[in-house]
Structure formats: structure tokens, C-alpha cells
Structure 1
């Protein structure tokens, strides 16, 4: 059985890359361009692929392909309908990021709420010496205790963020889906979360219903000038409107780990504001603690072994 890993560089170097226990040929590529997919997967039985798109035209040119194993939860890079038509099993990994994403989310929240980025730069620039006293106050500092945390996305990651927020003494709200009512008492209406939260954090999948779910109309409702955190998916927020909201003072700051285009293009609105003390952008690494990636890889190998044994697991197709 031939197994081809198309984008090894998307898994950190500290991960122990175990291999399936059955006889196989393992071929590994650090990176793969979309126009190289067919060539590299020709003759492969199993593809391991994180973010390289595998679309219908490629799938129909790969008669030997029987499985795609995704070392991630999201699968929007793959044509699931075409895989179903061809009988190709598609498996993803789940539950590996229940610690790393909430922790990264709160790293962003704490850094922004305490003004750490601005104060660090002030020290580098010599402003502490200029102040001629033991402290100075060039950026706002706010406690988390007693503030309101609005969470959009009620899955395992949103729940993990809520637990950390409660440990800090925050009041936590789960937003009902935008334009949806009647979800029950555990959910707060979407607009109410926008209006009453001091921090809003996104943990939703990217789907047609959630694309640009935070844009100019939503920013206009944010009465408490919240921090906006996105460790979920690029595309949930209209980035041009986001910069406009920052400029207008409708929000206090942003911590984004996911952008609409990754890596960002030269004309990305967020690239123009990276020097602001209330802006933190990280390169889609909230999921990527060494511990989480090792757990993820164990799942990948388990799914491949289950498929070979005739028991496909975590199927999305």
C-alpha cells in the first residue's frame, strides 16, 4: 500500500512521526502545490494532506486513491462530494486541540487586556527611563474578573474557553447562532452578546452561514468596545470592516490567529495595522502546541490503520 503525505511541513518538527504498523510504502513531501497533486498522488492508495486542496478534477484523475486522511478538523480544502461519488473514505482528526486553542485564546486576551504589547515596546524604546519613576501608564490595563466573555461557537473549544474564563472570574455567554432564535436558555441572543461583551471570541466553523458573520453592522452593535479574538477560521470576520471598526473605536483591540487568506496577501487590511499596540496577529498556530500535534498524529495513524483493517473511523465522507 502506497501512502503519500503531501505537506509534512504543516506538522511541527518536534512531533514523533510514527508510521502505520502494516506493510506499506511511505512517501513524504514537505510542501505540494495544487498543480502537483495529481502527479504526486498517482498510484497512491492513501493521501495524508492538511491544507493542499484536492478538488474534483484531481480526484477523478486518481483511480487508485482509496482514502484521504486529514491531520486537521477542517476539511473545506477537499471536494467531499467527489470523494463520496468515487467511494473515497475521508477521515479527519478531532478533539486534539481542547487545551492548546483555549490557552492561545487567553494568551491573546491577557496580552491585549493588560496592554503587554504596547508596554513591551515602550520599554524597548526607552520610555521607562524617560518616565523617571518606577512605573508609567501609556496603555489601558483592565482586569478580566467581573468582565463579560462572549463566545460564538459552543463546541469543545468554546466550552474550554468558557472554563478558563470562569476561572478568571468572567461572566461567560454563549451566543445563539446569528439570525436564529429558540435555541434554549443556555444561549444568549447573538445581538445581546455583541452588545454586552467585553471580550468576544470566535470558535465557529467556516460555512456559508458564518462567512463574514462579523462585519460593519455587527461592529456597530458592540457598545462596550470589546476585544475581538479569532482562533477559529479566517473568513468569519470581514477584515476591511474590522480595520474600520478599530479606526472608529468600536472595538478595543484584536487578537487574530486566522486570516481570510493564509498566508496573507500584500493587500491584506490587517498587514497595514500590525504595528498598533492593540493588534496581535499570529500565524495560525493556536492549534499547534507540541502536545496537541502529537495527539493529532496519533489519530492520523490510528485512522489509517483502522481503514486498512476495514473499520474506517472519523469519517466525513
Structure 2
């Protein structure tokens, strides 16, 4: 569907949107942001929605009069009911790659902080302990280690490039659904001597990896994908990092693995209950071998700007009659 210039489509951003992209909208569509009173009219007037963390109830979709597109600010769409969108004949697009650098930086930071026990040392010093170089907290180095990346999309590739560039890591990649184009991107970026595609996590991945980084969606098939049986296969020096979605790691089993010394530690930017609090999961949030952050991978202002710009470009293209990019349904 195309629109004459005097009848511009209306896009309602029901979550906060970086203000720097406002100038990109002029002449392409009307943008109503969540801080404007008019936002309450989205069921009546919206041709498209931009959503970040909000969900859209199926009963709300049924009341929409003009809605044709939902644009996800980011990659993950697990909070959206894809079946309801299909039933309402509403298309869904996301923005893969736009937040890859921000998420990858957090994955790298978590792995380094867990490995070198920075959070433990910092907390003990602040609690008044007298620590020196001989206090026994030596940590683990990452140089020359093996990184297992589960999920070979844009974020996984960016993580792989960062770890390989910084530490000369060997990379194991597990992704049974990776496209030919994505696989080619890996093979043109990472030297073949440092890149191995694996088919079985239990035998080729978990027992070998020094760092495990998750970059997959939360689906019925990935819920509790890593639990007691998987931790038992890992090295006692292994570090697991989740910047993807909470629920992929069974958090009760993770606590047990940390308590029993089955792995060295964990860095979590994604948890089953967000934001993480001492009340929501006291044993894990307080555990000194687990660093927890409130899903900040895509929260840096520069990342928000880039993702918002991608949202604007995606919608402007479909409104001008071009084929949709990154369409989920």
C-alpha cells in the first residue's frame, strides 16, 4: 500500500524512541510518540506501531481499524503474539544487526568481569576486606581460549569478531538454522583456522568451551535449553554469558552449578524475571560468581539511536511500496 503525500500514514511509537530520529520522519509519515496525548488513539489511527518492550494484546489488535505493520525496536519478538498478528493480517518486522555492537560489548564485558573476578574483588574491598595480589582471587585469562557461540546471527558474529580480535580465541559456532549468507559472513571474517562449525553441543561444544555466549531467541525449543545435564558437561573453569533472553538457562540449575563449582561463573544480561532484583531471585542475584545487569545490551544512547533509525527506515520503505525488510510475519 502506498500513500499520497497529503495523506501520510500514522505511526505510533508506544515505547520511548530516541529523539534524534524525529527529523528523519518528515514527509514520510506522521510519528506520534508515547509522550504525546494523541498516543491513546493508536487503536483508531495507527497504520503502524513501533514497539520496544511492550506487548500487544490480541483483543487490542481486534479493535485496530487501520493497523498494517508492527515494527519491533530490536531483534527479539518473544513478547509479541505472532499468531494474533497473523490472524489480524498485521505484518511484523524487526531490526537485526542494529544493536549488535552494543550487545556484543556487554557480552565481552561480562565475560572479562566474570573471568577476572572483578565483581567479587570489588565487592570485598568495598565491604572492608584487605585484599592484595596474594589474596587468592587470581581469576582466569581469556587470551587463547575457546569461545562457544550458540546462535550465529548478526550479534553472534559481532561477538565472535570482538573475542577473536581481542583475545585470539578459537570460535565454535552452533546454529543449525544459519543461512548461507550468514555462514559466508562468518567465513569471510574469521580465519578458517580459528572457526569451527559444530553439530552437537553435548560432545563438541560444552566439554570444550572456556566461554559460552548465547545469542538465540526464547522459543519452546530453547526454554531451559541449558540446565543440570549441560552444566555437568562443562569445564569447571567455564564462563557462561547470556545477553539474549531469560529462560534459555534454567536459573535454579545455574545456582546449583555455581554452588557446586561445576563452572567458574556466569554473566547475565537476560533473566527470566526482568528487571532482576534481590526479591525476584535472591540466591542468583546475590551470588558472588554471577554478575547481573538489567538487559542493558541495547540501552546505550548510540545504540538506541541506531535502532530507532532502522525502525524509521523500515517503515518508510514499506509505506513507499518497497518490499519489507526483516519481516517476521
Give the TM-score, by structure 1 length: 0.84
- Whether the aligned pair in 1 keeps the contact of 2:104 and 2:155 (CA below 8 Å) is yes
Report deviation, 1:156: 1.9
> Is 2:144 the counterpart of 1:146?
yes
Match of 1:125 in 2: 127
Indicate how the Cα distance of structure 1 residues 261 and 316 shifts in structure 2: closer, same or farther if over 3 A, else same.
same
> Is 2:294 the counterpart of 1:313?
no
User: Structure 2 matches for 1:276-287, cutoff 5 A?
Assistant: 276-287=287-298
Match of 2:285 in 1: 274
Measure the CA separation in 2 of the matches of 1:12 and 1:140.
42
Match of 2:172 in 1: 173
Report deviation, 1:296: 0.9
Gaps of 5+ in 2: 1-8, 178-182, 184-195
> Is 2:299 the counterpart of 1:288?
yes
> Is 2:50 the counterpart of 1:48?
yes
- Whether the aligned pair in 1 keeps the contact of 2:143 and 2:168 (CA below 8 Å) is yes
Measure the CA separation in 1 of the matches of 2:116 and 2:268.
17
Measure the CA separation in 2 of the matches of 1:212 and 1:47.
31
Measure the CA separation in 2 of the matches of 1:25 and 1:171.
48
Measure the CA separation in 1 of the matches of 2:312 and 2:108.
31
Q: Specify the SS of the correspondent of 2:49.
A: strand
> Is 2:37 the counterpart of 1:20?
no
Match of 1:155 in 2: 153
Measure the CA separation in 2 of the matches of 1:24 and 1:172.
44
> Is 2:222 the counterpart of 1:215?
no
Q: Specify the SS of the correspondent of 1:294.
A: helix
- Whether the aligned pair in 1 keeps the contact of 2:98 and 2:307 (CA below 8 Å) is yes
Aligned residues: 299
- Whether the aligned pair in 2 keeps the contact of 1:176 and 1:189 (CA below 8 Å) is no
Match of 2:210 in 1: 198
Measure the CA separation in 1 of the matches of 2:40 and 2:88.
16
Q: Specify the SS of the correspondent of 1:240.
A: helix
2:76 to 74, 77, 83: 74
Aligned Cα RMSD in Å?
Answer: 2.7
User: Structure 2 matches for 1:76-91, cutoff 5 A?
Assistant: 76-91=78-93
Which 4+ stretches in 1 moved above 6 angstroms?
none
Match of 2:241 in 1: 229
User: Structure 2 matches for 1:234-253, cutoff 5 A?
Assistant: 234-253=246-265
Gaps of 5+ in 1: 32-36
Report deviation, 1:82: 3.0
Measure the CA separation in 2 of the matches of 1:306 and 1:211.
35
